[in-house]
Every structure is written in structure tokens, then in C-alpha cells.
Amino acid sequence: MKDKHGLVMNQDQSFDRIAGKFDKNIYGSTKGRLRHELLVHYLDELLDSKPQRIIDAGGGTGMMSLELSRRGHKVLLNDVSNDCLTLARQRLESLDVDYHQGPLQSLPDNWRPDGIVCHAVLEWLEKPYEAVEHLLDLLPEGGWLSLSFFNKDAHRFANLLYGNFEYIERDLKVKNRVRLNPNNALEPKAVLDFLAPKPVTIQHTAGIRCFHDYLKERDMQTERYDELKTMEIAYGRTHPYFWLGRYMHLFMKKQG
């Protein structure tokens, strides 16, 4: 859908018919690999080792569900795309995972989780804050939410460095939608302001890919990947670097 200026308006994104391309584009690149490995690293630090019931909301082709299931957690994998869930079932066929196909707002009330993972989903939704509200409603007191989202401030900063000034002037909106590019990046301060009055305590804030995307020599993304990952972990939770992450990661617990 486009507005009166011919610019693409936000709407929920499904990856039906391009699920394989989506999976390869995300996890077949250093940027996708690094994002995934950093989120796994932080969850390993933040979660108790005992088995938990976890909803992977908008979990796509099941990469995070795979990590969680291997660690002994019971997972409900949700996605709006049937094609993504088909790939996920193939990836997770040896594991005991439940599945739910549909918008995350349609997640069943009777599958009560200890925690929810919602990574790189909000930027594909028309109403991301309503989605967060629904996820918080599903959590019990003491339940946790791991939330990551595409950082609009960092996206703007990167495009300023690239000299994409017309794109900046259009407030990062495109005339012709590219289905593999997020269409609704969020400003971290706006997300934090939204969460401030909610019954949650934020226990962790990190930038994801604070340095990877800005490297002058792109070959370093592959040739010095391990060193780069070490630097991301060392500085990704440190002010001011976490504000530069292409994604922001928040981990919060619900209060009574």
C-alpha cells in the first residue's frame, strides 16, 4: 500500500513464497550470523539453565527455536508465514516443538509461557506497539520478554554515512518496497518511553552489530569475524556504543 506521495506505507510482512530466500539472506551472511550469535550469547547469560516454556514469536524458519530446544526448553514457534514454518519443521524435525501459524496477536491464551522471544519482528509490523502490549499480556508475573528490533537511529546514521540524503529526507521510506528490507524501523528512545509505564523492569540493554556494518574494509567482516564478535560483546552493552547497534536488544521481566 502506498500513500498519496507514492511512498510505501507500513503493513505486516509475511515471507510466504520467499521463505527460502529470506532464510539464506539472513543466516547465510556475516550480518545475520552475528546478529543471531550475539542474541544467543546474551540469552545464555540471562536465562536460568532449568527448562522453561518459551514462545518464539515471529520466529520465522526456527533458528532461535533450534537453539532454545537444544538447551532443553519447551518451545512454541509462531510465525505468520506458513512457508517459513514449513522450513522450520524440517530444521526442527528431531525436536519436540509446538507450532502456531498466524499473527502473534493470535497466540493462544492456553499456552502459558515462562518467557517470550521476539527478535527482529517489530520492524515488519504495521502496529508494533500493539504487538508488544499483547506479548506482555501473555506473560505471568515474573515472566520475561527478550525483544530486539531494527534501530531507526542507527539506520539513519548509516545512510548519512553512505550519502543517501534523499532517502533521509523521505524519513527512510522507499518508493518501491523491497520485501527483504525492514519497513518500520523503531527509535530506541520511543520504545523505551513506551515501556516506561508498563509493569516491567528492563534488566539488559545491548546494541547488536554496533561495529560490523560500519567497517571500512568489508573483508574484515569475514576474515576477522571472531575478533569482531569479541569486540561486539565487549562494547555492545556499553554507553555510547549500544546506541549505534543496527538492532537493539532489551531483556525485561514483568512485575506484579
Position 9 confidence tier, pLDDT thresholds 50, 70, 90: very low
Task: Please tell me whether 119 is known to bind a ligand.
Answer: yes
Confidence of residue 11 (pLDDT cuts 50, 70, 90): low
In this structure, is the dihedral angle defined by the CA atoms of residues 36, 42, 118 and 157, taken in order, positive or negative? negative
Residues 201-240 pLDDT 10s? 999 999 999 999 999 999 999 999 999 999 999 999 999 9
The answer on whether 35 is annotated among ligand-binding residues is yes
**193 labeled binding residue:** no
The CATH number for 19-254, chosen from 3.40.50.2020, 3.40.50.150, 2.60.40.420, 3.40.50.1820, is 3.40.50.150
Mean pLDDT of the chain: 92
Long-range contacts of 135-138 (CB under 8 A, 24+ apart): 135/57, 135/104, 136/198, 136/199, 136/200, 136/254, 138/55, 138/107, 138/109, 138/112, 138/113
Residue-wise pLDDT for 131-151, tens only, equals 999 999 999 999 999 999 999
Please choose, from the candidates 122, 144, 127, 157, the residue with its C-alpha nearest in 3D space to the C-alpha of residue 248. 122
Q: Give me the helices (H) in 139-187, please.
A: 152-162, 165-169
Q: Per-residue pLDDT averaged across 5-31, rounded?
A: 75
Judge whether 249 is annotated as a binding position: no
79 among the known binding-site residues?
yes
| Domain map (residue ranges) of the chain | 19-254
Tell me the pLDDT tens digit for each residue of 32-43.
999 999 999 999
Is the pLDDT at 2 greater than 60? The verdict is: no
